[in-house]
Amino acid sequence: MRPQVLFSLFAPATKLPGVGPRIAQALARVAGERVVDLLWHLPNGVVDRRYAPSLADAAADRVATLTVTVEAHNPPPPGRGRIPYRITCTDGTGTLTLVFFHAQGDYLEKALPVGEQRVVSGRVEQYQGALQMTHPDHIVPVAEAESIMRVEPVYPLTAGLTPRTLGKAIQGALALAPDLDEWMDGPLKARHSWPDWRAALLAAHAPDGQGALLPTSPERMRLAYDELLASQLALLLVRARQRQMPGRITKGDGALRAKVLAALPFTLTASQSKAIVEIEADMAGESRMLRLLQGDVGSGKTLVALMAMLVAVEAGRQAAMMAPTEILARQHYATIKPLAEAAGLEVLLLTGRDKGKARAAALERLAAGQTALAVGTHALFQDDVAFKDLGLAVIDEQHRFGVHQRLTLAGKGRGTDILVTTATPIPRTLMLASYGDMDSSRLTEKPAGRLPIDTRVMPVERIDQVIEAVRRSMANGGKVYWVCPLVEDSEVSDLAAATERHRALTALLGDRVGLVHGRMKAKEKDAAMAAFAGDGSDLLVATTVIEVGVDVPAATVMVIEHAERFGLSQLHQLRGRIGRGSEKSTCLLLYAGPLGQTARARLEVMRETEDGFRIAEEDLRLRGGGELLGTRQSGLPEFRLADLAVHADLLAIARDDARLVLERDAELESDRGKALRTLLYLFERDAVIRYLRSG
Q: Does 448 bind ligand ADP (CB under 6 A)?
A: yes
- From ligand ADP, Mg ion, none, which one binds at residue 300 (CB under 5 to 8 Å depending on kind)? ligand ADP
Task: Considering the complex, state which of residue 390 and residue 443 has its C-beta at the smaller distance from ligand ADP.
Answer: 443
Is the distance from CB of 568 to CB of 605 less than 8 angstroms? yes
Q: Which amino acid is at 365?
A: R
Vertex 76 angle, CA 70 and 81, to 5°: 135
Q: Which of 12, 163, 447, 637 binds ligand ADP (CB under 6 A)?
A: 447
Q: Does 302 bind Mg ion (CB under 5 A)?
A: yes
Residues 6 or more apart from 29 whose CB is under 8 A from it? Answer: 158, 159, 160, 489
**Dihedral (Cα; 277, 400, 380, 252), 10-degree rounding:** 10
Q: How far is the CB of 613 from ligand ADP (least distance, A)?
A: 14
Residues 6 or more apart from 687 whose CB is under 8 A from it? Answer: 234, 403, 404
Task: Considering the complex, state which of residue 275 and residue 662 has its C-beta at the smaller distance from ligand ADP.
Answer: 275
* Beta strand 417-422 pairing with 318-322: unpaired
Q: Does 539 bind ligand ADP (CB under 6 A)?
A: no
Task: Considering the complex, state which of residue 93 and residue 582 has its C-beta at the smaller distance from ligand ADP.
Answer: 582
Calpha distance 176→6 (Å, rounded): 9
Q: How far is the CB of 453 from Mg ion (least distance, A)?
A: 18
Q: Which stretch binds ligand ADP (CB under 6 A): 37-45, 265-273, 322-330, 354-362?
A: 265-273
Calpha distance 321→1 (Å, rounded): 33
Q: How far is the CB of 599 from Mg ion (least distance, A)?
A: 29
Site for ligand ADP in 270-309 (CB under 6 A): 272, 295, 297-303
- From Mg ion, ligand ADP, none, which one binds at residue 278 (CB under 5 to 8 Å depending on kind)? none
Binding letters toward ligand ADP, positions 114-153, x by CB under 6 A: ----------------------------------------
Residues 6 or more apart from 380 whose CB is under 8 A from it? Answer: 320, 322, 350, 374, 409
SS3 549: coil
Q: Which stretch binds Mg ion (CB under 5 A): 1-9, 48-56, 253-261, 302-310?
A: 302-310
Binding letters toward Mg ion, positions 253-292, x by CB under 5 A: ----------------------------------------
Calpha distance 455→135 (Å, rounded): 49
Q: How far is the CB of 553 from ligand ADP (least distance, A)?
A: 7
Site for Mg ion in 536-565 (CB under 5 A): none
Alpha-carbon separation of residue 321 from 53, 256, 331, 380, 525 (angstroms): 69, 17, 12, 9, 22
- From Mg ion, ligand ADP, none, which one binds at residue 303 (CB under 5 to 8 Å depending on kind)? ligand ADP
Residue 658 CB-half CA count within 13 A:
29
Q: Does 419 bind ligand ADP (CB under 6 A)?
A: no
Site for ligand ADP in 42-81 (CB under 6 A): none
Task: Considering the complex, state which of residue 319 and residue 588 has its C-beta at the smaller distance from Mg ion.
Answer: 319
Size of the site for Mg ion (CB under 5 A): 1
Q: Which of 108, 119, 170, 268 binds ligand ADP (CB under 6 A)?
A: 268
What's the start-to-end Cα distance of the chain, in Å? 8
Calpha distance 214→210 (Å, rounded): 7
The secondary element (H helix, E strand) that includes residue 598 is: helix 597-608
Spell out the SS3 assignment of 261-285: HHHCCCCCCHHHHHHHHHHHHHHHC
- From Mg ion, ligand ADP, none, which one binds at residue 295 (CB under 5 to 8 Å depending on kind)? ligand ADP
Alpha-carbon separation of residue 422 from 297, 400, 610, 635 (angstroms): 9, 9, 17, 8
Q: Does 550 bind ligand ADP (CB under 6 A)?
A: no
Q: How far is the CB of 526 from ligand ADP (least distance, A)?
A: 18
Q: How far is the CB of 274 from ligand ADP (least distance, A)?
A: 12
Q: Which of 242, 269, 586, 634 binds ligand ADP (CB under 6 A)?
A: 269
Calpha distance 351→356 (Å, rounded): 12
**Binding residues for ligand ADP, per CB under 6 A?**
266, 268-269, 272, 295, 297-303, 423, 447-448, 551
Binding site for Mg ion (CB under 5 A): 302
